[in-house]
Structure 1
């Protein structure tokens, strides 16, 4: 009986020593993790501050700069894990094999995530848009805030923040409204059949010349066309080009100004009457 007790005691002491020893290793590994993270964080700050002070940052667009920061964080976390795991008794060859198998499994299970990752590089390399550009992808439209590893952030005109998966940007049509220095404004409105189109065109041309310097509008005559006829009114369309940065301000301004021109010409706005059957 005493023999069995001493055997159990030795076995228990061995387990206790193993648990304490491994627990100590885990504790040291946790401390090492935070210590290395602190060093990497300080190195990252020094690195990116150096880039900010050098001319290299001027050559890098803001979107590329944000992408590099995100990539640096993920890469350094991976390296720290490779440093700590062997200390816990995990062989390096086993780590590589596990990460290889894990990478394959994750790749098959999360193709969308990898697609977003690769698409992030494609978006940055193509340089189709940059921070501050006004773009539209599908039903989403806004100003580019930044491009990160998996997502691109847009700010809408309603001050909403939208994150678009990068794969959506490479697999869908993307319109960059800021790519060209000028944009065309198209404004349609209704006028009665008896309007003097020539006089209306002269009035609108005079309006544009008057406000050319204010909005930096390209000095060219607008194109005024009759878009279509209806039984009740004529649809007239005015087309002209304006510098991209003044697009929205001028578009809102010209709508109010055309209304004032029509009022000045004493043109009554057409009213449509819907026919109905009195027999019911």
Structure 2
């Protein structure tokens, strides 16, 4: 009985000594791992701030700057985490494999979101439009108010917010009305065949030339667009600045109608063919 107790005591002492030796050997590794973690967090914060300042000086697009800054921050954090656990003596090969498998599964389940993410990156890099531009895309027309990584926000003329996923937006046709700074209105009047075409064109040109918001260069145009069975189609093309486009279009139509009435020029109503 005494021999068994002595053997038990000896075993406990041996385990205690072994545990103590392990702790003594592991403490320097633990301390160095946490030192690396603290220094790494400070370095990451410093690098992130420096990157933001550099992008501000270079006048990088705000959305792109935020995206690049965030990507850099999380990439450095992931690298620091792998270094930290490696310093603790944890095998990183299997850990990285698990992360890769999880990333693949998440990527397959979020294919639509990844497509929007990629589209957002393309829009931010190639800049087919900027915040404040008026664009037409995916059947919607509005002013761009925000370009995010996954969606682009537009505000329509009647103050409705439109969200377009960047995936389909980057792969579709985009009409940007703001890039050139000026825009041509394509208006039309249908006139009777009794109309003196030269007189009508003179009246329209006079109306456009007298309007303060119609640009002189490029010069406004008026021409015969088509001769149908029932009417002469007169195309009216004034140029204006983007901000004056709506007003110019409305004013020209109204003033031309008034001038035609004064000169006795008849506007031909639309005639529907009901013979079939």
The verdict on a shared fold, with TM-score over 0.5 as the criterion, is yes
In the aligned structure 1, how far is the partner of 2:255 from the partner of 2:160?
30
1:66 Cα deviation from its structure 2 partner: 2.8
Q: Which residue of 2 aligns with 1:270?
A: 268
Specify the SS of the correspondent of 2:142.
strand
In the aligned structure 1, how far is the partner of 2:120 from the partner of 2:218?
40
In the aligned structure 2, how far is the partner of 1:231 from the partner of 1:73?
64
Aligned runs of 1:149-160 on 2, under 5 Å?
149-160=149-160
Out of 65, 68, 84, the residue aligned to residue 65 of structure 2 is 68
Q: Which residue of 2 aligns with 1:18?
A: none
TM-score norm. by structure 1 comes to: 0.67
Q: Please give the per-residue CA displacement for 1:195-249, whole angstroms capped at 9, x wherever unaligned.
A: 11111212222222222xx315134543322223344332211123323332222
Conservation of the 8 A alpha-carbon contact between 2:146 and 2:152: yes
Aligned runs of 1:252-267 on 2, under 5 Å?
252-267=250-265
Question: Residue 204 in 1 paired to residue 204 in 2?
Answer: yes
**Comparing 167-176 and 260-269, the one that deviates more:** 260-269
Question: Residue 131 in 1 paired to residue 128 in 2?
Answer: no
Conservation of the 8 A alpha-carbon contact between 1:70 and 1:148: no
In the aligned structure 1, how far is the partner of 2:217 from the partner of 2:264?
28
Task: Evaluate the alpha carbon distance shift between residue 158 and residue 223 of structure 1 in structure 2; reply closer, same or farther with a 3 A threshold.
Answer: same
Which sections of structure 1, spanning at least 5 residues, go unmatched?
1-35
Conservation of the 8 A alpha-carbon contact between 2:51 and 2:69: no
1:81 Cα deviation from its structure 2 partner: 8.3
1:170 Cα deviation from its structure 2 partner: 2.1
Q: Give the aligned length.
A: 229
Q: Give structure 1 regions of 4+ aligned residues with deviation exceeding 4 angstroms.
A: 43-48, 70-87, 89-95, 271-277
Conservation of the 8 A alpha-carbon contact between 1:82 and 1:95: no
In the aligned structure 1, how far is the partner of 2:121 from the partner of 2:218?
41
In the aligned structure 1, how far is the partner of 2:262 from the partner of 2:101?
76
Aligned runs of 1:7-156 on 2, under 5 Å?
55-57=57-59, 60=60, 64-69=61-66, 72=69, 95-156=95-156
Question: Residue 184 in 1 paired to residue 181 in 2?
Answer: no
Rg comparison, structure with higher value: 2
1:266 Cα deviation from its structure 2 partner: 2.2
Q: Which residue of 2 aligns with 1:5?
A: none
Conservation of the 8 A alpha-carbon contact between 1:67 and 1:147: no
TM-score norm. by structure 2 comes to: 0.67
